[in-house]
Each structure stands twice: as structure tokens, then as C-alpha cells.
A and B are shown apart, each in its own frame.
Chain A
Amino acid sequence: MLHVEKLTASIGDTPILKGLDLAVGAGEVHAIMGPNGSGKSTFAHALAGRDGYEIGGTVTLDGADLLEMEPEARAAAGVFMGFQYPVEIPGVNNMYFLRTAVNSVRRTLGEDEIGARDFLKVAEQAMELVEMKKDFLYRSVNAGFSGGEKKRNEILQMAVMQPRLAVLDETDSGLDIDALRVVAKGVNSLRGPERSMIVITHYQRLLDYIKPDFVHVLVEGKIVESGDHTLALHLEENGYAGFVNHDLDDAPLSGASA
């Protein structure tokens, strides 16, 4: 499914990813953990196609070269990113945004667009999944949402977009335990044999709810250790110290999490 080889990313002269290798099979859930500034968010943005990075290496999804594609083409190819900081778009209602997103992808794929009424059904189902009230659909995208609402909105979007590959960037950050449970429930129900997920997180806590098939430790722009979910427990106890070879002060603090 997803093959990442020798992926590098830098901002200006500052390298952030330094040759990252990762293979994600269909239906698998991979967790990526690592200390601040290790390049976790940069990895997510490199997959999604954010401007501003110098990118090297190769990334293919189902054999297609992702790095050649604009962000919207990647979305059409099935890449979905759950943002750590979902963006506010005042005046644009959530429902309209979602339907435009779905129909943009459908158009790109040469499929018929979905009408407002049919879409409402799809959206309502997805809303139940993340335990949202209906008025949520008619509020402006993320504007004035609480942290928990924003993250739930990301999962709602994922449920509606039905992506091939979901990259969830620190979806657990800023969530209280109830919101965490709702988000995790949503993610779990979207697991399936045709859908792969990369769950990026700082803490083991999320992985109590979303049990990954594989856990990778990202340090200074490289994956330094991979294992099953027990690796996360090990990290929880021992921290990242064992994986960090030299001083973390060298790691870029700005930009990496942007």
C-alpha cells in the first residue's frame, strides 16, 4: 500500500526528516511515536503535500508516486490527514464544506457528485459515530469549536471521506478522557481491511484505545526502532532517552511541529 523510502524533508537549510523508511500494508494501523521535534508532524505534512518543504526520497501509495501530486490529488488518491490544529474557516458551514470536499474528490475520480439530500444521510451516520449534535453541521468549519470538537470534526471528515490512508497527527492532543474515547471509537470503527492508518502521537495513552499493529519510534528524522504495541508500553515506562544518541538541542524546534 504505502511505501516510504529514504524520505527527507527540510525547511531551508534545516533538515527535519533524514531518510525515513516505512511500509504500511492494507488494513494495518501503524503508530509513530517520538519526542518533540523528531519530525512526526513533518512526516504527516510530507505525506499530505504541504508547501514549504524540500522533499527527497520516494513515497508511493498503491504504486502511484505521491510526491509528484498536488495536495488535492493526494486527497483524491485516498490520503486523509487529521490535523493537529484543525483550521477555522469562518462563514463556511461544516456541512457545505464536507460535501464540497467529497464532491471534489468524486469529480476528480470521474464519479457523479452526491446531492445534498443523500449527503445529509451520509453525514448524519458519521455524526453518530463521533457523538455530535446535528447543529454541528451548520456551524462554521471549526470556528469557535472547542479543542475536543475540532478533533471530533476531523474524525467526522474522515468518516465521510472514507480514505484509503488516514494520517492522524496528534489527534489525542488537547483531549480530555471522554473526548479521547469518542475519537478513538470513531477511529476504531473506521478500521478495515482496505484502509490503512498512521497514528502519530506523543503519548502511549491514545494507544490504549486504538491498538496499533505496529509501533515505530521516530527520533531526529529517522525511524530508530519498530515493534508491536508492547513497544509503546516500553516507551511509556522508559521514555525516549534510550533512543536519543546525542543532544536534543540540535533538533529543530520551530517548524518541525508546524
Chain B
Amino acid sequence: MSETMRGIEELTEASYEFGFSTDLDTDVAPPGLNEDTVRLISAKKDEPEWLLEWRLKAFAAWQEMEEPDWAKLNIAPIDYQAISYWAAPKQKPVLESMDDVDPDIREMFDKLGIPLHEQKMLSNVAVDAIVDSVSVTTTFKETLLEAGVIFCSFSEAVQDYPELIKEHLGSVVPVRDNFFAALNSAVFSDGSFCYIPKGVRCPMELSTYFRINSMNTGQFERTLIVAEDDSHVSYLEGCTAPQRDENQLHAAVVELVAKDRAEIKYSTVQNWYPGDENGIGGIYNFVTKRGRAHTDAKISWTQVETGSAITWKYPSVILQGDRSIGEFYSVALTSKHQQADTGTKMIHIGADTTSTVISKGISAAKGQNTYRGLVKMMRSAENARNYTQCDSLLLGKTSGAHTVPYIEVKNPTAQVEHEASTSTVGEDQLYYCRQRGMNEEDAMAMIVNGFCREVFNELPMEFAVEAQRLLSVSLEGSVG
């Protein structure tokens, strides 16, 4: 369309003239990334000066950085100048009925057992059901407001709670942290902000809210969760529904701050488009997730990663306060030509801090799965403990599993345990299940789900069930 041909300044002007929200569908910046792009994004969002400065600092840092190449990933070169950095909140076409939805996606919805009204919302089908759920959403909003919980888009938060954002943005993942985090900091489009006041236990799983609010936050997502002293929140990002996206590169940043005695449980189910059987297409998912746990605080990451062509992701915990707790539970499945290099970093600073890492990697077809994890015991980490268990399951002869643990211990009283195993689904196990009447695919799904049990147990109930189905669906065709 003609708008894309215009210069950036003109576009910026246009948005002032016609307003921000009404002009969304034609609001696409030309590809390319320079300082003006960063200024454009910031201006579009009507951001305060300090945030623009922050973005520019990140951009300057990013320009000096190199794309990391230490991961065991085979990444086709990414042309950062070919990407449009302001195309994010794209309006999806509204469909007449479920019949208009991609049959593949419909089939997957059914297999996952996603309720019809949610299917419709996720596919953007115009029906009355949406009206119902809008009211549900409103109810949720009111419930949260009563409890004093702030939960809104990142852009809203910048406008409405600038002090909170200013205080915490970049406090856990600094702009120079890594290449992708710096890129995100410069050009992030939107995301979520969540604030739990002192002593408040968030009255609902924020997942519930998320399910209804099918999100379209774009490729450079920014999430910040701040839990004040003695508060508690459980947050679920993503959903098991299949997500297609035209943007190939996704670089998100998630920061968690758990103040004294606070607890944040962050669960992710990631089911982005993995590419086809020949390894064509699929999302590149480069994510930086980190939490800071203050005294007696607890941060728990649970992730089920079955999507994306490439996953580069290490949800981490800085165990800063004494007796703080960090947990990481992960299932990563790679099939087709998918590659995952994922794990965690547990940085023990405080005394008597404990961390637990349970990682389950599953590789099928030509999938490559690497666990990469760092456990670091600083000099101050008296009596700190870590337990790491890393299990890999190989399906088929063409898949690969790799484990790369890094352990640094600077305090002699700290204890670090690492257990690792690699196994295949045994012929014996399959035969046993088949003798009991199950077909090979069902048997395989059951065995693999059993392998992941410890991680699924950490998920909120409804998602645990869906995650199981998701795993089965992702494994289809990989038997034999």
C-alpha cells in the first residue's frame, strides 16, 4: 500500500494527525533499522523522553554487539535491515465463521480440546461468543483492580505508571545484556506489565485472563512483572493453540522482580509455527528471561517448548537475597527440523539459596535439542544448593540430544548436584503398550508424556492437560 512508500517522518506526522489507534492497519514502517526507527517507535507510542533515551542507549549498544554464535544452533543469516520494526499491532481479518479458518489449525484446535468460543477468539471469528467473553474479560479486570493488581499492556503502563516502569525496566536484564535483549530494548513494540502490591495474593491465575485476551503483541515483546514484599502471582504466557505469525524473528525480554518473601510462578507454553517437514519456514525464537529474587523470595519458571524452528532461551534466576529459591522446569521438544538450545542460569549470590533444575529434552525426526545451563555459586553464597536433573529422550536415529552444563563454584560450602540421562523409547516399552491394545502412536505419546511428568505437574491444571495433548500432536508422524 502507498503508505509504506512514504518517509518515516511523514508517517509520524500522519499518526499525530489521524490518531494512533484508528490508523493501525495501514501503520507499517518501511523495513530497516536506524536511530530514526527507534525514534519513530517511541513517538508512535507517545513515550516520555527518558524511555526514548533508554531505547537509544540500547540501540547504540546493539550496534556494537555481535550476534551470539556459541549456541548449538544452525541459524541462517538474519538481515536486520530487511525487517519492518513498526508493523506490530496488525489487525487480523475478521472471519465469518470457523469454516474460514485454516483446516490445519482447526484440526489442531480439536485435538487440543480447546473450547469452541476460545477457538473463535483465537482465530478472530466474529460471533456472539466474543461478546460474552468481552464481559468475562471485564469481570476479570474488575477482580484484579479490587485486589490492587495492575495488569495491562506495556504501552499503557508506560503512560499510566511511568514511575514503576522507570524503576524496574532493565533492572534485571540490562540493555547491554546480550545482542537480542539489546535489540528488543531498542525496538520493543508492546508486551505486558504486571504489578502485585505488598502482601497481595493475586486472586486469579493470570493465565485465565490471558486465555481470553488472545494476545497479539508482536515480535519484540517486553514483559515486566513486579511482585512486592509478601505477594504472590502465577502467570501463564502463551497458550497451546497453534500460533502462526508472519514475523520470522521473535526477540522477547521478560523481567521478573520478586521482592522479599514474594513468589512468582511463570509458566510458558510455546507453540509457534515450527516450519514444515523440510525445515522451511518457522519462527526464530530468541528470548531473554530473567528474574531477581530478593530475601526469602521464590521464582519458578516452567516452560513447555514445542514450537518454533529455532529456540534460544535460558530463563534464569538471580538468587540475590538470602534463602531465596529458584526453580526451572522445562520440556523442550524438537521434531521435524527444529532446533532448541535452551536451559537456565541459576546465579546464587545470597546465603542458603537453593535452586532446582529439571529439564526434559525430547528429540524426534531431525530435531536437535541442547540443554545449556549455568549454575554459579558466588563467593557470598554460603551453604547454597543446587540440584540439576537433565534427561534427554531420543526418538529415531536422525535426532540429536546434547547437554552442556556449566558449573562455577566460588564458595566451598555450596553444594551442586548434577544428574543427566539419555534414553530412547524402548522397543520393549512400545511392545508392552501395544500388547495391551494401544496403537504405536498412542503408546509413544503416553511414554513421552510420562517422561515429562515432573514438569507437567508444575503447570496449572488445565494447561497440563493441554500440554500433554500438545506433545502428542507434535509427535504425530515421528514414530517409526
Which A positions have Cβ atoms within 8 angstroms of B? 48-51, 70-72, 74-76, 79-81, 83, 86-92, 96-97, 100-102, 104-105, 108, 140-141, 157, 161
Write 15 A-B pairs (CB below 8 A) sorted by A numbering.
A50-B431, A71-B434, A71-B435, A72-B437, A75-B435, A79-B435, A86-B432, A91-B449, A92-B446, A97-B446, A100-B446, A104-B439, A105-B437, A140-B450, A140-B453
A90, B453: Cα distance in complex, Å:
9
Q: List which B116-140 residues lie within 8 A (CB) of chain A.
A: none
A50, B433: Cα distance in complex, Å:
12
Known: A50-B431, A71-B434. A89 touches B447 (CB 8 A): yes
Number of A-B contacts (CB under 8 A): 80
**B151, CB-defined interface residue at 8 Å:** no
If over half of B's interface residues share one DSSP class (helix, strand or loop), that class is named, otherwise mixed; here it is: helix
**B451, CB-defined interface residue at 8 Å:** yes
Question: Shortest beta-carbon distance, A78 to chain B, in Å?
Answer: 10
Known: A71-B434, A83-B432. A100 touches B450 (CB 8 A): no
Residues of A within 8 A of B420 (CB): none
Instruction: List the 10 closest A-B pairs by CB distance, nearest first.
Output: A91-B450, A91-B453, A92-B450, A101-B436, A75-B437, A87-B432, A105-B437, A71-B434, A104-B437, A72-B434
A126, B342: Cα distance in complex, Å:
45
Residues of B within 8 A of A86 (CB): 432
Instruction: Encode contact with A along B418-457: 1 for CB under 8 Å, 0 otherwise.
Output: 0000000011110111111111101000110111111000
Known: A91-B449, A91-B450. A76 touches B427 (CB 8 A): no
Q: Which residue of B lies closest to A48 (CB)?
A: B435
The residue among A50, A88, A91, A100 with the most chain B CB atoms within 10 A of its own CB is A91
A91 touches B439 (CB 8 A): no
Residues of A within 8 A of B451 (CB): 90-91
A221, B51: Cα distance in complex, Å:
82
A140, B454: Cα distance in complex, Å:
12
A96, B449: Cα distance in complex, Å:
12
A108 touches B437 (CB 8 A): yes
Residues of B within 8 A of A70 (CB): 434, 439
Residues of B within 8 A of A51 (CB): 427, 431
Question: Shortest beta-carbon distance, B82 to chain A, in Å?
Answer: 44
Q: Report the contact-size class of chain B (Cβ under 8 Å from the partner).
A: 20 to 34
Q: Which residue of A lies closest to B428 (CB)?
A: A87
Question: Shortest beta-carbon distance, A156 to chain B, in Å?
Answer: 12
Q: Which residue of B lies closest to A107 (CB)?
A: B437
A64, B320: Cα distance in complex, Å:
69
A76 touches B432 (CB 8 A): no
B454 touches A71 (CB 8 A): no
Which B positions have Cβ atoms within 8 angstroms of A? 426-429, 431-440, 442, 446-447, 449-454
A72 touches B426 (CB 8 A): no
Residues of B within 8 A of A97 (CB): 433, 436, 446
B426 touches A87 (CB 8 A): yes
Residues of A within 8 A of B447 (CB): 89, 92
A221, B434: Cα distance in complex, Å:
26
B450 touches A89 (CB 8 A): yes
B452 touches A91 (CB 8 A): yes
Question: Shortest beta-carbon distance, B263 to chain A, in Å?
Answer: 26
Residues of A within 8 A of B437 (CB): 72, 75-76, 101-102, 104-105, 108, 161
Residues of A within 8 A of B438 (CB): 72, 100-101, 104
Question: Shortest beta-carbon distance, A63 to chain B, in Å?
Answer: 20
Question: Shortest beta-carbon distance, A111 to chain B, in Å?
Answer: 12
Q: Which of A48, A50, A92, A157 contacts B449 (CB 8 A)?
A: A92
A29, B454: Cα distance in complex, Å:
43
Question: Shortest beta-carbon distance, B111 to chain A, in Å?
Answer: 16
A49, B440: Cα distance in complex, Å:
13
Question: Shortest beta-carbon distance, B245 to chain A, in Å?
Answer: 32
A100 touches B426 (CB 8 A): no
Residues of B within 8 A of A105 (CB): 437
A76, B440: Cα distance in complex, Å:
14
A161 touches B446 (CB 8 A): no
Residues of B within 8 A of A92 (CB): 446-447, 449-450, 453
Residues of A within 8 A of B439 (CB): 70, 72, 104
Q: Which of A75, A89, A96, A157 contacts B429 (CB 8 A)?
A: A89
A92, B439: Cα distance in complex, Å:
16
Q: Which residue of A lies closest to B453 (CB)?
A: A91
B442 touches A100 (CB 8 A): yes
Question: Shortest beta-carbon distance, B452 to chain A, in Å?
Answer: 7
A49, B434: Cα distance in complex, Å:
9
Question: Shortest beta-carbon distance, B224 to chain A, in Å?
Answer: 35
Residues of B within 8 A of A75 (CB): 434-437
Question: Shortest beta-carbon distance, A255 to chain B, in Å?
Answer: 14
A91 touches B436 (CB 8 A): no
A87, B447: Cα distance in complex, Å:
12
A157, B436: Cα distance in complex, Å:
9
Q: Which residue of A lies closest to B454 (CB)?
A: A91
The residue among A48, A104, A140 with the most chain B CB atoms within 10 A of its own CB is A104
Question: Shortest beta-carbon distance, A204 to chain B, in Å?
Answer: 27
A51, B436: Cα distance in complex, Å:
15
Residues of B within 8 A of A140 (CB): 450, 453
A194, B447: Cα distance in complex, Å:
33
A219, B439: Cα distance in complex, Å:
34
A74, B440: Cα distance in complex, Å:
14
Q: Which residue of B lies closest to A50 (CB)?
A: B431
Residues of B within 8 A of A161 (CB): 436-437
A87, B427: Cα distance in complex, Å:
10
A140, B437: Cα distance in complex, Å:
19
The residue among B428, B435, B440, B449 with the most chain A CB atoms within 10 A of its own CB is B435
A92, B449: Cα distance in complex, Å:
7
Residues of A within 8 A of B429 (CB): 87-89
A175, B427: Cα distance in complex, Å:
26
Residues of B within 8 A of A76 (CB): 437
A88, B432: Cα distance in complex, Å:
9
A157, B431: Cα distance in complex, Å:
15
Question: Shortest beta-carbon distance, B450 to chain A, in Å?
Answer: 3
Residues of B within 8 A of A102 (CB): 437
The residue among B426, B428, B434, B439 with the most chain A CB atoms within 10 A of its own CB is B434
Question: Shortest beta-carbon distance, A100 to chain B, in Å?
Answer: 6
A66, B165: Cα distance in complex, Å:
69
Beyond contacts A48-B435, A71-B435, A79-B435: 17 other A-B pairs, Cβ-Cβ < 8 A, are: A49-B435, A51-B431, A72-B434, A72-B438, A75-B435, A83-B435, A87-B426, A89-B446, A90-B450, A91-B449, A91-B454, A92-B447, A96-B446, A102-B437, A140-B450, A161-B436, A161-B437
